[in-house]
Amino acid sequence: MLDGKAWRALVAGYGPPMITVNGVSVPKSEVEWTDAEEQAFVGNARALNAIFNGVDLDVFKLINSCSTAKEAWKTLEVAYEGTSKVKISRLQLITSKFEALRMTEDESVSNYNKRVLEIANESLLLDEKIPDSKIVRKVLRSLPRKFDMKVTTIEEAHDITTLKLDEFFGSLLTFEMATTDRESKKGKRIAFKSTHVSEEADCDTEANMDESIALLTKQFTNSLRNLKSPNATGMNVQTSNLYRRRNDNAPTRRNNENSDRRSDDYLKKKEGDKKIFRCIENVEELVTIRQNVPHS
């Protein structure tokens, strides 16, 4: 641990005690050092040793020739921060990044907090601290629209100039959690409603299929009843007898006409049979589909 003497050697620098001999300054012999001069030497040695032990071998090569802690420290500053001009350029870049900060719609408060603090720490490393009030105002201006209500509440309930960062981001995080919870519950209600509507649609489809089967069954039954009715049978018999009597006396031309008519009646009957068979097939097909429909 560095004590006060080591820190003074780092900040103010250290030079070996000197004496003037024949008008020329020469280093004083160690045996002639005063207690204060000896303490200053020890402080510089401790600070320089701490710097040497705090860097890796590659960095040590940059400062191994330094004789004072202040000299070693300045060498490291130039290596990692650059000269004053480079430092100013880096600060300008950091300022631009800070001004361009925006929280995206799908970004969490925790992640945005991390990005903001990273830029603030970069500026602090260059000896340029961004005030907390400036960070708070920047974040309030860069939040998505879903935080508008919370921004208004913070501006009305708090003094922005004295609001701490941890308290500020904690308030935003609480609001985000509450909003996420409400949206999750809303999504569950919508999903339940969609499932209910789908079940009703399935029931309607099943009912329509039942009605279609019943209608075709009714038509099929009526067709069979018409074929088996006595009137239809008697009419066929009478028509046959009439044709038989006419065949006894009618000329050949009439016989041919009657034959053609009988052929037409046969074809009509055959066509009716085909319709009945198609009706049967439709009923069977609907019954098969009805059996394969999953029941809720």
pLDDT tens digits along 70-124 = 999 999 988 887 888 888 899 999 999 999 999 999 999 999 999 999 999 999 9
Give me the pLDDT at residue 234, please: 47
- Measured CA to CA, the distance from residue 272 to residue 219 in angstroms comes to 13
The string of pLDDT tens digits covering residues 201-246 is 555 666 666 676 677 677 667 666 665 554 444 444 444 554 455 4
Rounded to an integer, the average pLDDT of 250-256 is 50
- Measured CA to CA, the distance from residue 2 to residue 44 in angstroms comes to 10
Higher pLDDT, 240 or 134: 134
Q: Which amino acid is at 96?
A: S
| pTM more than 0.85 | no
CA-closest candidate to residue 101, choices 149, 137, 145: 137
- Measured CA to CA, the distance from residue 189 to residue 197 in angstroms comes to 12
Residue ranges covered by each domain of the chain = 4-68, 84-163, 201-292
Cβ–Cβ under 8 Å, residues 280 and 223: no
Count of alpha carbons within 13 Å of 69, Cβ hemisphere only? 25
Beta bridge partners of 24: 21
Higher pLDDT, 35 or 260: 35
